[in-house]
Structure 1
Amino acid sequence: MAAGAALLAAATAGVAAVRAGGEDRPASAGSTAPATAEITRGDLVDTTTVDGTLTYAGERGIAATAAGVVTRLPAPGAVIGQGAALYEVDRRRVVLMYGTVPLYRTLRQGIADGPDVRQLERALRTLGHGRDLTADTHFSSATAAAVRRWQGDNGLVKTGSVDAAQVLFLPAPVRLVETKAATGDRIAPGRPVLTVTSTRRVVHVDLKASDQALAKKGARVTVELPDGASVPGKIVSVGTVAERPEPAGGSGSGQSESPTIDVEIRLDGVPKSGRLDEAPVTVTMESARREGVLSVPVEALLALREGGFGVELVDPGSVRRVVGVRTGAYGGGRVEITGPGLSAGMKVGVPAL
């Protein structure tokens, strides 16, 4: 409503006050026909724009699983897929394999059956080390043979067993955000080594808690990218806990900022934005919707001397008369109107360009 009031103020500034219900006024001979717009019936949508950040989903840290000296790290921005090394310790690769069950035990012959065995066998088959291997929950001699083939191809000791110092299971490829250690560092299990994200682009919005009504899971939005292109998106998550950001300059610099909630937006399609991370974007959200209402351009409103608003109806033959209306929602440069005798298709006067 505040946005609508601002539009209305601009549209009616300088408009002479007129009287509702005045006499019909036919156009004088030789006069130019007044500019008109049509009263339409349809949905009226008001929008609000907020700032967001184009980034990647699913940020998480990766800690070391073995002691030693870091001998290789990927470069920030690198995408690491199944079968590739996340990093190396003492020149031994820690390899990414796809799976959802963490490697919480050493996988070898004689262990109890389990889903972690199945996901190892699936990964070995995908990587070409067990084409005749059955992906089930049992670690068989065939599984051990496939593991030894994989270890040989990766420069690892051919033990036939797999532990967390060799493999990290994650659901999908990851993108390296930053390294938490440097080549040559001596590390111990549990020390942070990498920070990664998924490869899925998302938009993150720190939405003011007072504007929470704007963000509804599943709602459609429009995102303007850094290159000026606009892409549609959908809100996929809305935080439930309001957080108060630290004030600029540190905790001792004055009042903290307004509480915010986290909103994540999934983009439709792949945006043509390269590999930009933490890039600013503008998100347009729907703030109000009125369905099936009559509306006119905001500039068609007239401020009435006795108060309220009216529109100038233009009948066939350019006969004009002012009628009082009640205003409702605003959106897209239009305003909802109601009043006796109004219907879609009628013409109203608007300021000439």
Structure 2
Amino acid sequence: MNRSHASGDVTSPGAAVAGSRLARRRRWTVVAACSSAVLSAGGVYATQWVQSPAEAAARTQAPQASVITAPVVRQVLRNTLVFRGSFSDGRTVTATPTGVAATQPASQPSASQPSALVVTDVFARPGQRVKAAQPLVEYDARPVFALPGAFPMYRDLTVGDEGKDVVQVQRALHSLGRPTGSDPSGTFGSGTAAAVRHMYAAMGYAPPLTTSAGTVSQDPGPEATTTLPSSEVVFVPSLPARVVSVPVHVGDAVKGPVVTLARGDMTLTGFLDPSERGLVTAGAKADILAEATGAHATGTVASVGALVTPGAGKDDSASDDSAADARQDSAYVPVRIGGGGSWDKTFAGQDVRITITAAATSRAVTAVPEAAITAGADARSTVTVVPASGGAQRVVPVTTGVSADGLVQVTPTRGHTLRAGDRVVVGT
């Protein structure tokens, strides 16, 4: 019996073999393509790390040289000097009471018992400016005050005394508007005594009196005459004076100075390097800054002194500021700076920075930085100009002048030009 098969139900062996071969070919084609892609990518990557000898040499060469330039300027050249200075009190005077006016005619003065003196009031404070016959400190209910004069009060003065210290007292009384009557100059007479009494009355104190026995009293009894005790008066060359210190409080025993006054205003001394001596002259403007407090002021150079060498036997009498001078351990030139008046009290005792700017040229000049100047083998000075357009550099011979603050005055030689705004080489 014959059997028939539908063509779609049975696959022949030849067809199956052919399909298998075709699939294998396709797989090999895909693998080959992927391998080729990987190899290509690796080759590209590898070429980035492989250099020819020429390329390696080019990479190791120094970069092309460039130049540093600065502009040519036209201005007045100025020298700016900065140096240290110190404020001080100059010469000072102190008041140290050693005796007190007795309250009874028969009482003995207490000059031999200084420990008995007690501070009973304090009127002055540091930095304050005080005038003549103004109570500063009170001890045992007696005032300490200042009068104008340079001669020290070395003794008690009373009727009948004579001398230049009496002349000084009379002049001080006249400055207060207290006439001394018909007393001759230098003689403490009744007119001078009356002026002293009026001065004490204006201060609110009874005038001290001395008896025929030599005791001091405040009782205007028989044979008592007016006196001016040395313990109560301190003479200062000029008034008003500045209070430097008041080292006592109410209730303290008097064991030393009760007040210290400056004989004049604060002084500012600058310590200038000797090599810069010729750059500073009297009248130059100065800028003063106290870095510690931020205080700022302007002043004028009052004087430029002679060279000072510490330890070389400098005459301290030439300076009112030997304490400040002693702070320097190297040679210097003292420069005194005036403030055009009284310095602010915040400068007291301060070390400060002093800046002085002085014109080095009387008019505007063409100038370049010092680094732009080149000296050739022929000793001629030149500058190299870099054109703004980027063209070739040109060398300009110049004649140099004064220098200040890193700039040098230059004048181009005949046939050459150099203008403000041109760029000159200062380095590479």
Same fold (TM over 0.5): yes
Q: Is the 8 A contact 2:94 2:257 kept in 1?
A: yes
Q: Secondary structure at the match of 2:173?
A: helix
Which one of the candidate residues 218, 223, 231 is aligned to 2:298? 231
Describe how 1:128-277 pairs up with structure 2 within 5 A: 128-130=177-179, 132=181, 136-153=185-202, 154-158=205-209, 159-172=225-238, 173-188=240-255, 191-198=256-263, 200-207=265-272, 213=277, 218=282, 220-225=284-289, 231-236=298-303, 238=305, 240-242=308-310, 258-259=329-330, 261=332, 263=334, 265-270=336-341, 273=344, 275-277=346-348
Q: Is the 8 A contact 1:312 1:348 kept in 2?
A: no
- 2:397 maps to 1:331: no
Higher share in strand: 1
Q: Secondary structure at the match of 1:186?
A: coil
Q: What 5-or-longer segments of structure 2 have no aligned partner?
A: 1-65, 99-113, 210-224, 313-326, 388-392
Residue 165 of structure 1: CA displacement? 1.3
Give 1:197's aligned amino acid: A
Q: 2-side partners of 1:271 and 1:101: how far apart? A: 24
- 2:352 maps to 1:284: no
Higher share in helix: 2
Q: 2-side partners of 1:86 and 1:200: how far apart? A: 18
Give 1:58's aligned amino acid: G
Q: Secondary structure at the match of 1:144?
A: helix
Q: 2-side partners of 1:83 and 1:90: how far apart? A: 18
Residue 195 of structure 1: CA displacement? 3.1
Render the CA deviation track for 1:222-280: whole Å, top value 9, x for unaligned.
11345686623114364734279xxxxxxxxxxx9853658453334348956443455
Q: Is the 8 A contact 1:121 1:134 kept in 2?
A: no
Residue 98 of structure 1: CA displacement? 0.5
Residue 82 of structure 1: CA displacement? 0.5
Q: 2-side partners of 1:59 and 1:272: how far apart? A: 16
Q: Is the 8 A contact 2:386 2:423 kept in 1?
A: no
Point out the structure with max Rg over C-alpha. Answer: 2
Q: Report the equivalent of 2:80.
A: 47
Q: Report the equivalent of 1:23.
A: none
Instruction: Tell me the TM-score normalized by structure 2.
Output: 0.55
Which one of the candidate residues 122, 131, 143 is aligned to 1:93? 143
Give 2:259's aligned amino acid: L
Q: 2-side partners of 1:163 and 1:215: how far apart? A: 52
- 2:170 maps to 1:103: no
Q: Report the equivalent of 2:174.
A: 125
Pair 1:196–1:124, CA change in 2 (3 A)? closer
Q: Secondary structure at the match of 2:395?
A: strand
- 2:354 maps to 1:322: no
Pair 1:16–1:157, CA change in 2 (3 A)? closer
Q: 2-side partners of 1:313 and 1:70: how far apart? A: 80
Q: Is the 8 A contact 1:243 1:260 kept in 2?
A: no
Give 2:132's aligned amino acid: Q
Pair 1:304–1:101, CA change in 2 (3 A)? closer
Q: Secondary structure at the match of 2:118?
A: strand
Q: 1-side partners of 2:343 and 2:415: how far apart? A: 46
Pair 1:84–1:311, CA change in 2 (3 A)? farther
Residue 96 of structure 1: CA displacement? 0.6
Instruction: Tell me the TM-score normalized by structure 1.
Output: 0.65
Q: Report the equivalent of 1:15.
A: 67
- 2:330 maps to 1:298: no
Identity over aligned pairs, percent: 23
- 2:151 maps to 1:79: no
Q: 1-side partners of 2:140 and 2:406: how far apart? A: 65
Q: Secondary structure at the match of 1:347?
A: coil
Pair 1:297–1:281, CA change in 2 (3 A)? farther
Q: What 5-or-longer segments of structure 1 have no aligned partner?
A: 1-13, 18-34, 245-255, 315-319
Q: Secondary structure at the match of 1:75?
A: coil
